[in-house]
Structure 1
Amino acid sequence: MTDRNSQTATRQIQAEIVATLDLETFGPTAHTEPTYLRAALEAGFDVIDLARAHEVSKRTIYRYLDRHDIDHDQPPSNGPARQLWNTRPDAVPGDD
């Protein structure tokens, strides 16, 4: 069963993408197109935003980025480095 809050968040990010990229409509398979991916990343959307908007996994977005040779940061695959990657920046103590 789908959560209403997640549906609302999905629709909201879709609307933001349409508005920011000046699209006529949201294309559910646009994440497979290199021009769309480049434009979305340049506009400040991240992999999580795109995955949520297109209702696919982050891995799917990373695969298409790799397939189209689009430069991007990719998280480490496992271990403490991955945990650190997924930690909110303000949760890590350090110099301000």
Structure 2
Amino acid sequence: MSDYSFETIEQMLLKCVLEGREPELGFRLRGAEYMIIAYTDRCSFQRCADEAGANASGERYFATLRELYAAPQIDGCSLKELWSEANDFYCFDFEP
């Protein structure tokens, strides 16, 4: 089970955006590494490259973090469906 609810992460990301930053949240899910980046007018989601430098997805953009959370993602499932499996969170802008 994830140590952080999506709502908690969303609040931390939005607080950083309000402070003028563009926070990058990394986490692991089902053995792969993912990243969410929050901007003032949108957010992005991507699967990061693996150790061999392959399997990166490129960024997908969403109007809001809520839209990102509910939408089917790169691997076909939404974060809403899988969030409980997310772990190893890191972000330089705050301590998750």
TM-score range, shorter chain: under 0.3
TM-score (normalizing by structure 2): 0.24
TM-score (normalizing by structure 1): 0.24
Q: Which has the higher contact order (CA 8 A, sep 6+)?
A: 2
Higher strand share: 2
Structure exhibiting the larger radius of gyration computed from Cα positions: 1
